[in-house]
Chain A
Amino acid sequence: MNNKLAFNIGAGILLVLLAAALFAPLVAPQNPFRQNLEQDLLAYSSAHPLGTDKLGRDILSRVIYGGRISLSVGVVTVALSLTVGLAVGSLAGYCGGWVDHLLMRLVDILLAFPGILLAIAFTAVLGPGLDHVVLALCLIGWTSYARLVRGEILGLRQREFVQAARALGCPPARIVRLHLLPSLWAPLMIQATFGLAAAIVAEGSLSFLGLGVEPPTPSWGAMLNDGRQFLLVAPHLTSYPGLAIMVTVLALNLVGDALQEQLNARNR
């Protein structure tokens, strides 16, 4: 697929999803919390285009509102992880020496765990809830940004323009902010795109295990978990939230791949 086309398709899907999440009260046909036990586990009807769940709640509305949770957890996780990773990576890369060794060993220790396992362990211990999910995902999330920033800064700090700034007496924080960071935005944005996809899947995994958002708040992962009990009689309960996650992650991967390809072409 053409690189530009892939980017446009991915970005288009993301825009639609973002708009649906932002304007959920206007877009959703029904109240996602309203129960109607007389109409439980309906497949399709004009009032409920995607059917209803075990409590008779409209699935389309819950999928739309669920997007708010998944996307906001992803965005907040990426923003916090990026901020921490940027600060730690800059410090390690610019200072070097024992500061670099110490911070990178910490990164190694955290990366010694499969990310999702540590997130599951932390939310299991702290208890379910959105803030705990974000905290658990950030705990591992910042490490990849810190590694990336450190690596880039190590390569840049010996360049003439940085040495010239240092010779002119420019303070380290200013050198990092004005001279180094502008070169880092492109790889960081690519990393953030893939990080967003990973965070959405991780939130889904935690909610699927009952460690994410608490009922009755709709979340794609939690909806999948609820629907699992009715696989035989109502497979649509798992289909739509699963499809929503897949389409979101697919769109992010398309955008991330296209950006990566563009950056590679620029560096060649």
Chain B
Amino acid sequence: MKRYFIHRLLLLLPTLLGALTLVFGLIHLVPGDPVEVMLGETASAADKQQLRQSLGLDQPLSTQYRKFLSGLVSGDLGQSLFEPASVSEIIRARLTATLELALCAMLAAVMISFPLATLAAARHGRWLDRCALVFSLLGLSLPNFWLGPLLMIVFSIQLGWAPVSGRGGLSHLFLPAVTLGLGMAAILTRILRAGLLQALQEDYIRTARAKGLAESAVWLKHTLRNALLSVVTIMSLQFGGLLAGSLITETIFSWPGLGRLTVQAIQTRDYPLVQGCVLVIAVAYVLVNFFTDLLYQLVDPRVSYEQ
């Protein structure tokens, strides 16, 4: 385990540094003068110079890069252009809302996919199995920027079961969590169903049944547990996707999280804030994947670095 951890950590560091370098480079890709793009052509020369200095764009690239990295170490992501607060403070204030939404979306995905996949595998080849396959196919094909408005029309406008937008209690979470989690539910249903069907073919299942183990114990202790391995990986990969997907879902439902903040920062051309948001989401994605690798080894000790 220790060796595996060190190997994974050694792989994590260059990946993380590369991701940070890419985020650092974002502001330098702005066509023309980034300061002019942010402030507009009509801004005075003094304002432009002041912004250039505060962003450090008047310094050599290597100095800017060094300051960027040292700032990150101390949690300094720079200053927002239009809000009287630092980027770190603004992001910190919004992060909880996004994590709440992403976790609820994941929970919704698990609550939909696990029973569906288990029933589909238990009734393999029958109509319930076909329904699960159709659900996963439709779920994968429904983009969340359409699903969101669709759910809003049905559940908020027509039925009045859930609020149209904003953050509050559980009723506010329902539609955004389903919108964000449905794609994940479709993938999990597909992966878990395939894993369960494969596990059911194994010799140890036949042995468990032959020795008279109750069917519920066969499913819970042997089939489901073995099929969970692939699900763990998919869930972690999808968690990063949920963070990215929150950009659209939060925009649709006016959810005050990191995703909506990113879109607002893009619209107002607040590039330091855009940079900070992208960085936080990317680092979270890398770290979630790293911890999944470790978790994977804990769940299945046969997994080794060489594999």
Residues of A that sit less than 8 Å from B by CB: 1, 105-106, 108-110, 112-118, 120-122, 124-127, 197, 201, 204-205, 208-211, 221, 224-225, 227-228, 231-232, 235, 238-239, 241-243, 245-247, 249-250, 253-254, 257
A224 adjacent to B15 (CB under 8 Å) = no
Residue of B19, B157, B241 contacting most chain A CB atoms (<10 Å): B19
**Docked complex: B242-273 residues within 8 A CB-CB of A:** 243-245, 247-248, 251-252, 262-263, 266-267, 271
Distance in Å: Cβ of A209 to nearest Cβ of chain B: 6
- Chain B residues within 8 Å of A225, by CB: 145
A113-B19, A205-B143, A239-B150 known; 4 new pairs, CB 8 Å cut-off, are: A112-B285, A242-B149, A247-B141, A250-B138
Question: Which of the residues A209, A228, A249 comes within 8 Å of B143, measured between beta carbons?
Answer: A249
- Chain B residues within 8 Å of A246, by CB: 138, 141-143, 146
**Assuming the A-B contacts A127-B31, A228-B149, are A109 and B19 also in contact, with contact meaning beta carbons closer than 8 angstroms in the complex?**
yes
Do most interface residues of chain B lie in helix, strand or loop, or is the interface mixed?
helix
Question: Which of the residues B141, B143, B149, B262 comes within 8 Å of A120, measured between beta carbons?
Answer: B262
Closest 6 CB pairs of A and B: A242-B146, A109-B18, A114-B244, A250-B141, A124-B266, A117-B244
Residues of B that sit less than 8 Å from A by CB: 11, 14-16, 18-19, 22-23, 26-27, 29-31, 130, 133, 137-138, 140-143, 145-146, 149-150, 152-153, 157, 240-241, 243-245, 247-248, 251-252, 262-263, 266-267, 271, 274, 278, 281-282, 285-286, 289
19 pairs, CB–CB < 8 Å, chain A vs chain B: A112-B18, A112-B285, A113-B285, A114-B243, A116-B247, A120-B262, A120-B266, A125-B27, A126-B29, A205-B248, A209-B251, A224-B145, A231-B153, A235-B149, A246-B138, A246-B142, A246-B146, A249-B141, A250-B137
A109 adjacent to B22 (CB under 8 Å) = yes
A105 adjacent to B15 (CB under 8 Å) = yes
How far apart are the CA atoms of A140 and B23 in the complex, in Å? 14
- Chain B residues within 8 Å of A205, by CB: 143, 145, 248
How far apart are the CA atoms of A80 and B43 in the complex, in Å? 39
Question: Which of the residues B18, B267, B278, B286 comes within 8 Å of A117, measured between beta carbons?
Answer: B278
**Assuming the A-B contacts A112-B282, A117-B247, A208-B145, are A231 and B18 also in contact, with contact meaning beta carbons closer than 8 angstroms in the complex?**
no
Distance in Å: Cβ of B40 to nearest Cβ of chain A: 14
**Assuming the A-B contacts A114-B243, A249-B141, are A125 and B29 also in contact, with contact meaning beta carbons closer than 8 angstroms in the complex?**
yes
A126 adjacent to B141 (CB under 8 Å) = no
B19 adjacent to A112 (CB under 8 Å) = yes
Distance in Å: Cβ of B26 to nearest Cβ of chain A: 5
A232 adjacent to B262 (CB under 8 Å) = no
A253 adjacent to B140 (CB under 8 Å) = yes
Question: Which of the residues B140, B145, B157, B271 comes within 8 Å of A204, measured between beta carbons?
Answer: B145
How far apart are the CA atoms of A125 and B26 in the complex, in Å? 7
**Assuming the A-B contacts A208-B248, A242-B150, A246-B146, are A121 and B26 also in contact, with contact meaning beta carbons closer than 8 angstroms in the complex?**
yes
- Chain B residues within 8 Å of A242, by CB: 143, 145-146, 149-150
- Chain B residues within 8 Å of A204, by CB: 143, 145
- Chain B residues within 8 Å of A113, by CB: 19, 22, 278, 282, 285
Distance in Å: Cβ of B125 to nearest Cβ of chain A: 12
Distance in Å: Cβ of B271 to nearest Cβ of chain A: 7
How far apart are the CA atoms of A232 and B146 in the complex, in Å? 15
